Amino acid sequence: MVISSLAAMHAQPGIAHYSAAKAGLVAMVRVMAAEWAPHGVRVNTVHPTTTATPMALNDATYRTFRPDLDEPAREDFEEAARTLNRLPVALIEPADVTEAVLHLVADSGRHVTGTTMVIDAGARL
């Protein structure tokens, strides 16, 4: 199981390096899935949107999303981030990613390999 990012699936200005690295994981997983499937090994990627972790919840991210404010707070960031999703959420929770991973590694996902599971809150990217 590899955790990638929605950035691997959608072009977002300013993070070419991050998107390229995450997209590379997709190619690697697809090859690994093809090579290991005969041995019963499954390999998949999960692609979450903005998640409530320190990577997103920090002053630099707040300023990126709200350059109009001198000292934006989390609430200001969430107001802007909410516009990126069709579902009425600004961020997903780490538990949302965990649930997707659990499905893929459990018996319920026993026939899934070489796939990309997107958890995007209906992203408008």
Positions annotated as catalytic residues are: 18
For residues 124 and 111, what is the distance between their CA atoms, to the nearest angstrom?
A: 30
Number of residues that this document lists for the chain: 125
For residues 16 and 20, what is the distance between their CA atoms, to the nearest angstrom?
A: 6
For residues 120 and 125, what is the distance between their CA atoms, to the nearest angstrom?
A: 10
